[in-house]
Structure 1
Amino acid sequence: MGSFEGGGLGAFLREQRRQAKLSLRQLADAAGVSNPYLSQIERGLRKPSAEILQQIAKGLEISAETLYVRAGILDERVRDEADPGAAREPEESGVRAAVLADPGLTDEQKQALLRIHEAFRRENAAGTDGEKHDTGPPPTTPPTTGS
């Protein structure tokens, strides 16, 4: 059986499982997958579906999007929708990783933040260096009336 390249998904899952202090069997039970199947995923021998990743994420109590990115599912889709063929800068992946790893945000909030971040990056890339982008009039405060 050949090994598939999942961007380090197996190693990431193993590390997350160890940090959660779960045995392979405990995570398999929590995720509703077989122990041998989960072991094969961790060793990079199997490529899980998005549905299985979602079940594993629930078992680990982490965001499913985090696993989708690690497996190359979400990252490829977001990259292609935003700007096909665009080179990604190292700091962008740090922002993405931080947003996706934040347990205080819902999955919908994470996606909204990533879309806003990408929109700002595209906007800045479209301008010239040092050029200030006009985003409309500055916020105004209502005039105060004298008494």
Structure 2
Amino acid sequence: MASLNVGNLGEFLREQRRSAQLSLRQLADAAGVSNPYLSQIERGLRKPSADILQQLAKALRISAETLYVQAGILDERDRDEAEVRSVILADPSINERQKQVLLQIYESFRKENGLAPDHEDGDDEAGTSSS
């Protein structure tokens, strides 16, 4: 896992907050964090957890994976796969079995194209182990 690049994350968050036309207080309230804590994140003084990043992403209406990449938690190349998985898992129009099948097909295509890491041992980071 890469080390957290907190300075760039803070700058990125500030940029996203301003483009969303939110004050620091508004974003803090929407994300469920304190105003001083958010200020410290933006100034690069704090390293937020993945959960906090997810709350901030939701409040900013951007993908959590985008913030994970900025924070160095997720590699850029893994982001697209994570976003596809998130969309599939969040789709209310298909049932759980269909989601699992779709994810398996997606993974097989990625492996065929040499893009997917081998994790045949059932270690699936999206929590999609087969039942």
Q: State percent identity of aligned pairs.
A: 67
Pair 122,13 (structure 1): closer, same or farther in 2 beyond 3 Å: same
- Bigger Rg over Cα: 1
| TM superposition shift of 1:74 | 1.6
| TM superposition shift of 1:71 | 0.5
Pair 119,39 (structure 1): closer, same or farther in 2 beyond 3 Å: farther
Q: Which runs of 4+ in 1 moved over 6 A?
A: 115-119
| TM superposition shift of 1:106 | 7.4
* Gap regions ≥5 residues in structure 2: 89-102, 117-131
**In the alignment, structure 1 residue 107 sits paired with structure 2 residue 71:** no
1:107-141 CA-to-partner distances (Å, cap 9, x unmatched) read 345xx7xx767974659xxxxxxxxxxxxxxxxxx
Contact 1:7 1:70 in 2 (8 A): no
Partner SS for 2:44: coil
Contact 2:8 2:70 in 1 (8 A): yes
After TM superposition, list the pairs within 5 Å mapping 1:88-103 onto structure 2: none
- What is the RMSD computed on CA atoms of the aligned residues? 3.3
* Gap regions ≥5 residues in structure 1: 79-95, 124-147
1:41-67 CA-to-partner distances (Å, cap 9, x unmatched) read 000000000000000011101101110
| TM superposition shift of 1:75 | 1.3
| TM superposition shift of 1:68 | 0.6
After TM superposition, list the pairs within 5 Å mapping 1:13-24 onto structure 2: 13-24=13-24
Larger RCO, structures 1/2 (Cα 8 Å, 6+ apart): 2
The AA in structure 2 aligned to 1:40 is Q
Instruction: Give the TM-score taking structure 2 as reference length.
Output: 0.58
Q: Say how many residue pairs are matched.
A: 95
Partner SS for 1:74: coil
* Matched residue, 1:9: 9
Instruction: Give the TM-score taking structure 1 as reference length.
Output: 0.53
* Matched residue, 1:34: 34
In the alignment, the residues of structure 1 paired with residue 45 and residue 7 of structure 2 have an alpha-carbon distance, to the nearest angstrom, of 13
In the alignment, the residues of structure 2 paired with residue 28 and residue 118 of structure 1 have an alpha-carbon distance, to the nearest angstrom, of 41
* Matched residue, 1:72: 72
